[in-house]
A and B are shown apart, each in its own frame.
Chain A
Amino acid sequence: MTAAVFFGCAFIAFGPAFALFIFTIARDPLRVIIFIAGAFFWLLSLLLSSLVWFIAMKASNAEDTKVQKGLLIFGVMFSVLIQEVFRFAYYRLLRKANEGLAAISDEETSPISVRQMAYVAGLGFGIISGAFSMINILSDSLGPGTVGIFGDSQYYFITSALMTLAITLLHTFWGVVFFEGCEKSRWWVIAVVVCLHLLVSGLSLLNPLYEGSLPPVYAVTVLMAVWAFFSSGGSLHNLSLLFTSKRSEVESS
């Protein structure tokens, strides 16, 4: 029976990411490369932050719970900052690559726009971080047991999956907004992205209040979705255009 939980959680956590990958990335080899490279950059950031974490844990006294709690908060914050540094590094790299691509292209512009790159790179970050936060939990969701013998919430698995979904989408949106900010040299945008990332990661410190952190995270996600929509060239006008065109299509058919 617990296979149901496994598949349910897997679909929740990776369903949207899978759909995005299939319809927007998989068809274009250049996007796949940028996507994989984005995932790789995120992994590098993880490697670095886990190294620091490892050293900090070895150096500290494992018995002292206060120090451990402090270290955990420090670890989370440090990891977020490292991730954002790597996002910036990846942006710089893509800028350089974009010039190269434009040079060798038949046409004089690059075959991929910076906005598209921003989205693909963000999705790469999102999927790999989602995978790392979820797969461990997925393997335990196969059962036969479920969380709760120590009084934890029985909705642990589904909330974890929903959290992973939010993180995946958030990374995508952050990527779009972040790159836009870099492109336009609006440093406050980058600062807001980093702060929101810190906020969302900090919310996980509320655990084991798993359900508690979901609403604020989803609020941030919706906010970021809107912002990313507008910063990537969407507008209310386009939206209305979409619906009217749709209606006209319906009428014409």
Chain B
Amino acid sequence: MGQESFKWFPLLVVSLFHTSVRCSSVEQKIYVELNSTVPCVRLLNATHQIGCQSSISGDTGVLHVLETEADLDWILSTGPHPPYMVVMEAAFFTRSTMVKMKNSSRVAGVAVIKSNTGPTEGFSPHTSCPNQNTGVYTEHYGPELANCNNTVWNPLGNGLSYEDFAFPIFSLKDDNQTQVIRKCYEDHNMRMNGSAPQYPLCAMQLFSHMHAVTDTVTCMRRTDLQNSFSINPEKLCDPLSDFNVWTSIRPLNNSIKGHKENESVVIAAARLDGRSFFWDIAPSAEGTVSSIVTLLAAAQALYPVALEAPPQRNIFFTFFQGEAFDYIGSSRMVYDMENSKFVIDLDNVHSLLEIGQIGLRNGQSLWMHSDPVSRKNTTVNKQVANLVANIKSVASSLNLSLNEPSATQALPPSSFQRFLRVRPVPGLVLADHQASFTNRYYESLYDTATYLNVTYPSDLSPEQQLEYETEAAKSLTQVATLVARSIYKQAGGEDRFLNNITADTKTVAKLLYGFLIMSNNSWFSSLLPPEALGRGSILESSPPQYYIGLRLDNTVKSVTRFVQFILANMTGTVTKLNQSQCQNPKDVPGESKDLYSYSWVSGPVSVNGTTDPYCVRSSVHLSKALSPAFELTDYGSREYSTWTESRWKTIRARIFLVASPQLEMMTLGVGVAVLLVSLVVTYFISSKAELLFSATREPPNTTY
């Protein structure tokens, strides 16, 4: 509070000396604010809190750069200036180091300098058994397969992302500012021949105070209490939520929910999200982007043929959001299907094909995973075998190696498991791993474009890179063709049309570029509505991040919007509607908002720099991806995802020098001495003032 009371004064001075303060205020002489930092934040589920937080006024510690084992020893036991703020290269960010620091009271916080390439032995801060408790395998359903007993899917997973740290952990982008930090460290904190450095020392302060504690149950209860009693309620946490994207080959009437007569759909699914240790850093190249790109390319390849020669069954493409956090998107869609709140219900589902992780480096083969428990039922087994046969027959013509893992192996973590939880839907998960993941950087910040081998020759301009067909693009195109043809065949399409279905390498290349390198490219901007561009554009000159996050005012995450509009452009038709008709097509004869969605799209930039927007009619829709637990207000649910993200006010990092305690005490001592001396002297002089300043030159007061 002491600081607060002085805040108005500098403000006054600032307003008076507006310009002089601008260039050299005292604060700027003390602190270097670190921009481009990303914190690790607190997330909560029904039983735990994970992540990190600082105290409310920030955590301060003497800076120490962790470079050798000796440094770790210095930090944890011998260094004379605890607590320490540890700055480390990403290579040191391992479980053993972090656990040691977690158990030490001498660590005030950690800043990790981001690196672009991961350790060769692999690194995954996720658990070794992703979504362990919300998949299909429990003690009631394939108990021998529950808890990854049968296959450990992510053996490199060290579970760091699911630890609870009592100190802040930030990620720093490796740029000029890390050089400033290093310089400050080398100038002030470096040990000379093993002896302790002298004051003043370089220190760092991290602010990431989290409002929520304990678990979702507690924090939602507190939020609800505030909502009902406080005039100015403050939320403590928000459920992770966003939107699923879905479309179908034959439009479905979105206003009528529940079972659709004479409708049988083949679902093709992929996931939309990933995560890493830090908030909103989730490149998820192999983990997520590979499957998004494959499914989008497959949809594009399939669509013209499906219009010309419609297959017997409908094909339903869906992208699930929030799957990294206990299957938020798929559990919600299945819940809605069960409760007749979705456009189709589970009876309409014929079969399901999910695209898992597809890295396909060095011509690995693809694997078709199925659920051994539901296949014990002969009818289901027959349908699954039929699906396998369909895919295999397609693959044989495509020069792709395709296999089935052993019949007793469990299904890998996938959205499909949420369907199996309620019904033995026949289905497959297509992935690049036979047993445990081949992805060495699963749900980590190293799962980048480089890891997926999406790299470009250095002499290309961004526009040329967008068009450049990388090897990864070529192999994913093959998979997309396989997926498109398989789905078409599975939906009852005739074999003679199969050869017309071919995914476009150029499209895959452009998708990979947009989803992995830079979303701000000419192709993406031509597919998005004009209001999504320009000021406050959702396009960025960096790769999109795939952490689901939360939606404060019903906005849609940028990645979801990309998928929505790309899918709309790929599967939709251009209409002659003008902008107002496009936004409100209800009054236009022959158009239906229930069957279709209409998007006003920018269109490509012409030679003279203008765009010609047009209206696209498609059947792409969004559906809410908010866990049913929050719909049911069952915050302690064991069935559904209960992940929430804590609220916070400040995320900040700065470095500065700290003075020695001796200097501080000396200042105080001098101050007290000055005060006391001046009190005594003034008292003495004022009591003797008549004598001292005897008005010799002034006439004495003689009037009576």
In the complex, whether A252 has a CB less than 8 A from a CB of chain B is no
The answer to whether A23 touches B16, judged by C-beta atoms less than 8 angstroms apart, is no
Q: Are A242 and B656 closer than 8 Å at their CB atoms?
A: no
A138 to B9, CA, bound (A): 11
Question: Which parts of B1-46 form the interface with A (CB within 8 Å)?
Answer: 2-3, 6-7, 9-10, 13, 16-20, 25-27, 29-32
Q: Is A29 an interface residue (CB 8 A)?
A: no
Residues from chain A with Cβ under 8 Å of B697 in the complex = 233
A23 / chain B contacts, CB cutoff of 8 Å: 682-683, 686
Instruction: Let me know if B674 and A165 touch, CB within 8 A.
Output: yes
Q: Is the CB of B656 within 8 A of A146?
A: yes
Assembled-state Cα–Cα distance A241/B694 (Å)? 11
B385 close to A (CB within 8 Å): no
A145 and B671 form a contact (CB under 8 A): no
With A142-B3, A146-B200, A232-B693 as given contacts, are A136 and B30 in contact (CB-CB < 8 Å)?
A: no
Chain B neighbourhood of A12, CB < 8 A: 667, 670-671, 674
User: Are B693 and A233 interface neighbours, CB within 8 A?
Assistant: yes
Given A19-B679, A149-B184, A165-B674, A140 contacting B703 (CB threshold 8 A): no
Q: 1/0 contact trace for B74-93 toward A, CB 8 Å? A: 00000000000000000000
Please, which residue of chain A has its CB at the minimum distance from the CB of B659?
Answer: A146
B674 touches A15 (CB 8 A): yes
Q: In the complex, what residues of B have CB within 8 A of residue A8's CB?
A: 664, 666-672
Q: Indicate with 1 or 0, residue by residue over B637-680, a CB within 8 angstroms of chain A CB atoms.
A: 00000000000000000111111010111111111101100110
Contact between B693 and A5, CB atoms less than 8 A apart: no
Q: Are B692 and A239 in contact (CB under 8 A)?
A: yes
Residues of A within 8 A of B668 (CB): 4-5, 7-8, 11
Determine how close the nearest CB of chain A comes to the CB of B375; give it in whole angstroms.
63
Residues of chain A within 8 A (CB-CB) of B27 are 140
A11 to B30, CA, bound (A): 22
Nearest CB on B from A145, distance (A): 3
From A90-98, A155-163, A185-193, A211-219, give the one contacting chain B: A155-163
Q: Is A234 interfacial (CB-CB < 8 Å)?
A: yes
A222 contacts the other chain (Cβ, under 8 Å)? no
Contacts of B694 in A (CB 8 A): 233, 238
Q: Give the chain B neighbours of A161 by CB distance below 8 A.
A: 667, 671
Q: Does A100 contact B (CB under 8 A)?
A: no
Bound-state CA distance A24–B16 (Å) is 32
Q: Is A233 a contact of B695 with CB atoms below 8 Å? A: yes
Which residues of A lie under 8 Å from residue B688 when comparing CB positions?
242
B672 cross-chain contacts in A, Cβ below 8 A: 8, 11
The residue in chain B whose Cβ has the minimal distance to the Cβ of A146 is B659
A146 contacts B30, C-beta separation under 8 Å: yes
B701 partner residues in chain A, CB cutoff 8 A: 107, 109
Q: Which of chain A's residues 1-45 have a Cβ closer than 8 Å to chain B?
A: 1-12, 15-16, 18-20, 22-24
Contact B657–A146 (Cβ < 8 Å):
yes
Do A16 and B703 contact each other (CB < 8 Å), given the known contacts A54-B18, A142-B2, A245-B691? Answer: no
> Does A139 count as interface, using CB distance less than 8 angstroms?
yes
B261 within 8 A of A: no
* Secondary structure of the B contact surface, majority rule: helix
Q: Which residue of B lies closest to A2 (CB)?
A: B664
CB within 8 Å: A-B pair count: 180
Q: How far is the CA of A72 from the CA of B19 in the complex (A)?
A: 11
Inter-chain CA distance A50–B16, complex, in Å, is 6
Which residues of chain B are within 8 angstroms of A157 by Cβ–Cβ distance? 667
The answer to whether A198 has its CB under 8 Å from any CB of chain B is no
Q: Mask for B684-704, Cβ within 8 A of A = 1, else 0? A: 001011011111111001010
B667 near A139 with CB under 8 A, answer no
Answer whether residue B205 sits at the interface, using C-beta atoms and an 8 A cutoff.
Answer: yes
Residue in A closest to B669 when the chains form the complex, CB atoms: A8
Question: Which of chain A's residues has its CB closest to B691's CB?
Answer: A242
B202 within 8 A of A: yes
Note all chain A residues with C-beta closer than 8 A to B202: 149
B60: interface (CB < 8 Å): yes
Cβ–Cβ contact B26 & A136, under 8 A: yes
Contact check, A144 vs B698: say whether CB atoms are below 8 A apart. no
CB distance from B92 to the nearest CB of A (A): 25
CB distance from B673 to the nearest CB of A (A): 8
* Contacting residues of chain B (27-76) with chain A, CB-CB under 8 angstroms: 27, 29-32, 60
Provide the bound-state CA to CA distance between A140 and B32, in Å.
14
- Please measure, in the bound complex, the distance between the C-alpha atom of A71 and the C-alpha atom of B31, giving whole angstroms: 27
For residue B479, CB closer than 8 A to chain A, the reply is: no
What residues on B are CB-neighbors of A238 within 8 Å? 691-694
- Please tell me if A53 contacts chain B, counting CB pairs below 8 Å: yes
Looking at A142, A145, A158, A233, the one whose CB has the most chain B CB atoms below 10 A away is: A145
Query: Is B205's CB under 8 angstroms from A144's CB?
Result: yes
- Whether A132 and B696, one on each chain, are in contact in the complex, defined by CB atoms closer than 8 angstroms, is no
Contact flags A124-139 to B (C-beta < 8 A → 1, else 0): 0000000010011111
Q: With A and B bound together, what is the CA distance between A147 and B27 in angstroms?
A: 8
Residues in A neighbouring B681, C-beta threshold 8 A: 19
The reply to whether A107 and B30 contact each other, CB–CB distance below 8 Å, is no
Partner of A149, one of B6, B30, B667: B30
Residues of A within 8 A of B669 (CB): 8
Q: How far is the CA of A5 from the CA of B666 in the complex (A)?
A: 9
B203 interfacial contact with A, CB 8 Å: yes
Which residues of B lie under 8 Å from residue A152 when comparing CB positions? 29
Using a CB-CB cutoff of 8 Å, which residues 146-195 of chain B contact chain A? 184
- CB nearest to A68 among chain B residues: B23
Determine if A1 and B664 form an interchain contact, defined as CB atoms under 8 angstroms apart: yes
A108 touches B (CB below 8 Å): yes
B675→A15 contact, CB < 8 A: yes
In the complex the two chains form, what is the Cα distance from A135 to B670 in whole Å?
18
Instruction: Give chain B residues whose Cβ lies under 8 Å from the Cβ of A57.
Output: 18-20
Interface residue? A194 (CB, 8 A) = no
Bound Cα distance from A158 to B663, whole angstroms:
10
A4 touches B656 (CB 8 A): no
A245: chain B residues within 8 A (beta carbon): 691
User: Quick one: which of A16, A115, A156, A242 contacts B692, CB cutoff 8 A?
Assistant: A242
Report whether A154 and B657 are in contact in the complex, using a CB–CB cutoff of 8 Å.
yes
User: From A43, which residue of chain B is reached at the shortest CB distance?
Assistant: B16
When the two chains form their complex, are residues A53 and B691 in contact, meaning their CB atoms are under 8 A apart? no
Least CB distance from A160 to B in Å reads 9
Report yes or no: B3 in contact with A139, Cβ–Cβ below 8 A: yes
Which residues of chain B have C-beta atoms less than 8 A from A135's C-beta?
6, 9-10, 13
- In the complex, what residues of A have CB within 8 A of residue B659's CB? 2, 5, 146, 154
Q: A150-192 interface mask toward B, CB cutoff 8 Å, 1 = contact, 0 = none? A: 1010111110010001000000000000000000000000000
CB distance from A38 to the nearest CB of B (A): 18
Cβ–Cβ contact B674 & A145, under 8 A: no
CA A144 – CA B671 in complex, angstroms?
19
Q: Give the Cβ gap from A151 to chain B, nearest Cβ, in Å.
A: 9
Chain A residues lying within 8 Å of B2, measured Cβ to Cβ, are 3, 6, 142
Contact across chains for A54 and B667 when beta carbons are under 8 A apart: no
CB of A46 within 8 Å of the partner chain: yes
**Residue numbers in A under 8 Å from B679 (CB-CB):** 15, 19, 22
Q: How far is the CA of A231 from the CA of B683 in the complex (A)?
A: 21
Name the distance in Å between B665's Cβ and chain A's nearest Cβ: 6
User: Is A113 on the interface with B (CB-CB < 8 A)?
Assistant: yes
Assuming the contacts A11-B674, A19-B675, A139-B7, asked whether A145 and B665 have C-beta atoms less than 8 A apart, the reply is no
Contact of A19 among B6, B667, B678 (CB under 8 A): B678
CB-CB under 8 A from A70, the residues of chain B are none
> Knowing A145-B658, A234-B692 touch, does A132 contact B13 (C-beta < 8 A)?
yes
Closest 4 CB pairs of A and B: A145-B656, A11-B671, A8-B671, A8-B667
User: Which of B's residues lie within 8 Å of A, judged by CB?
Assistant: 2-3, 6-7, 9-10, 13, 16-20, 25-27, 29-32, 60, 184, 200, 202-203, 205, 654-659, 661, 663-672, 674-675, 678-679, 681-683, 686, 688-689, 691-698, 701, 703
20 contacts between A and B (CB under 8 A): A2-B664, A5-B659, A7-B668, A11-B668, A12-B671, A15-B678, A20-B678, A20-B682, A24-B682, A107-B703, A136-B13, A139-B3, A139-B9, A143-B658, A145-B30, A145-B205, A152-B29, A157-B667, A233-B697, A238-B692
17 new A-B contacts, CB < 8 A, other than A8-B664, A46-B16, are A7-B668, A11-B674, A15-B678, A15-B679, A62-B19, A113-B698, A135-B10, A136-B9, A139-B6, A144-B656, A145-B205, A145-B656, A147-B657, A148-B30, A149-B32, A149-B657, A233-B698
